[in-house]
């Protein structure tokens, strides 16, 4: 193992030197930190003129999006590539720079990019070391291009089977989850079973390899909690489905580059105290991104409804005040908004959420 790590470190050092030479004369070789107050960002799938104009209409300055080869999920929870035509990992500077320039032409800033999948490292399959090296190269590219946040998921299998829809106010449609719908679903032969102990062994090894690279690139990593957060799904433990699991991530490598996406909706779904959770992670400067949404929680980790931002169990103003008290200076991302009648793009839902958040921010 030590020989393998040494080889990777040697290649990383050589690669970094080549990258620096290739980018000589450019303004920066690492991302600049986000400073100041809380900033609203909008999720954008395809970076089209229409989508970017909608963000600008809302008076939002930042965009979050999936990077090349970013993941999406099948109804069974398998991880697949969202855009099959995207180039294979690792990320290339030129591809990231094109994305960044497209966003900037619309008068916006690219603040957060979702990492590509690294299946073999998560599942403990042959090629896991190579997947880690690909992640390291992608983080370096993000730093050179100036992307401050790289978000990612740690899913052996995402617990998609418990989702269904409920009607909401005014004929809207709300996403809901009930673990009873998925807890007895069969294993997937191509995924297999994965214990918490095995997943933690692989994950801690991953963190110890990639966080030093992120530190050097001045990139903050943000792992999203397991969403939905039931304890297990089709024989796969969901190790980031609890606040304790997220704390273990941050304790494994104590670095601001190793942080979480603090999702106030998932935190409530877990049955945790959201304000206390913000204080714990924010006090360690390990909240690197925020997803800001509301839920009606019925059974912790199992049964809940994702509702309008002003209609759930979370006190959203209290959440913002707690974030502000920690000095959080990064991005706040409205998420999982209801679908309004005739609005499959959910622009009405996102517009409503952004307007509500702007009103709350004025009260800080």
Domain count, the chain: 1
Nearest to 261 by CA among 195, 183, 336, 156: 336
Whether residue 214 is preceded by a cis peptide bond, meaning omega within 30 degrees of 0, is: no
**Alpha-carbon torsion 122, 245, 233, 334, what sign?**
negative
Nearest to 17 by CA among 180, 166, 216, 159: 216
Distance CA 286, CA 266 (A): 17
Q: Are 157 and 199 in contact (CB under 8 A)?
A: no
Task: Give the tens place of pLDDT for each residue, 200-236.
Answer: 999 999 999 999 999 999 999 999 999 999 999 999 9
Per-residue pLDDT of the chain (364 residues; tens, 9 = 90+): 333 444 444 434 444 443 433 433 344 568 889 999 999 999 999 999 999 999 999 999 999 999 999 999 999 999 999 999 999 999 999 999 999 999 999 999 999 999 999 999 999 999 999 999 999 999 999 999 999 999 999 999 999 999 999 999 999 999 999 999 999 999 999 999 999 999 999 999 999 999 999 999 999 999 999 999 999 999 999 999 999 999 999 999 999 999 999 999 999 999 999 999 999 999 999 999 999 999 999 999 999 999 999 999 999 999 999 999 999 999 999 999 999 998 888 999 999 999 999 999 999 9
pTM of the predicted model, to two decimals? 0.91
Residue 307, domain CATH = 3.20.20.150
Q: Which domain holds residue 11?
A: 2-361
Task: Give the tens place of pLDDT for each residue, 306-356.
Answer: 999 999 999 999 999 999 999 999 999 999 999 999 888 899 999 999 999
351: three-class secondary structure by DSSP: helix
Q: Are 154 and 200 in contact (CB under 8 A)?
A: no
Which tokens in the block code for residue 36?
């100041």
Alpha-helical regions (H) of the chain? 2-22, 49-57, 93-105, 119-123, 128-145, 196-217, 243-252, 264-269, 274-283, 316-325, 347-361
């Amino acid at each position: 193992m030590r020989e393998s790590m040494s080889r990777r470190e040697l290649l990383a050092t050589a690669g970094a030197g080549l990258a620096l030479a290739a980018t000589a004369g450019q303004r920066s070789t690492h991302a600049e930190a986000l400073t100041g107050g809380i900033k609203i960002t909008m999720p954008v799938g395809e970076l089209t003129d229409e989508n970017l104009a909608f963000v600008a209409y809302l008076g939002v300055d930042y965009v979050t999006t999936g990077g090349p080869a970013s993941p999406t999920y099948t109804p069974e929870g398998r991880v697949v590539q969202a855009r099959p035509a995207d180039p294979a990992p690792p990320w290339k500077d030129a591809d990231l720079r094109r994305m960044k320039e497209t966003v900037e032409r619309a008068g916006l800033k690219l603040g957060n990019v979702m990492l590509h999948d690294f299946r073999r490292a998560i599942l403990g399959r042959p090629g896991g070391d190579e997947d880690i090296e690909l992640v390291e190269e992608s983080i370096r590219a993000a730093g050179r291009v100036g992307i401050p946040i790289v978000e990612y998921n740690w899913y052996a299998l995402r617990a998609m089977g418990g989702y269904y829809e409920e009607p909401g106010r005014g004929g809207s449609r709300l996403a809901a989850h009930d673990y009873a719908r998925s807890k007895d679903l069969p294993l997937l032969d191509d995924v297999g079973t994965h214990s918490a102990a095995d997943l933690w062994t692989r994950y801690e090894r991953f963190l110890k390899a990639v966080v030093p690279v992120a530190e050097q690139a001045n990139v903050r990593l943000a792992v999203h909690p397991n969403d939905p957060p039931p304890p297990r799904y089709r024989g796969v433990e969901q190790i980031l489905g609890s606040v304790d699991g997220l704390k273990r991530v941050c304790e494994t490598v104590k670095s601001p580059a190793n942080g979480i996406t603090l999702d106030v909706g998932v935190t409530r779904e877990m049955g945790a105290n959201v304000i206390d959770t913000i204080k714990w992670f924010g006090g360690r400067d390990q909240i690197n991104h925020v997803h800001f949404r509301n839920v009606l929680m019925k059974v912790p980790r199992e049964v809940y409804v994702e509702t309008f931002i002003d209609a759930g169990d979370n006190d959203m103003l209290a959440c913002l005040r707690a974030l502000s008290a920690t000095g959080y200076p990064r991005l706040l991302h409205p998420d999982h908004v209801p679908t309004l009648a005739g609005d499959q793009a959910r622009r009405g839902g996102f517009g409503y959420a952004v307007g509500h958040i702007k009103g709350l921010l004025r009260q800080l």
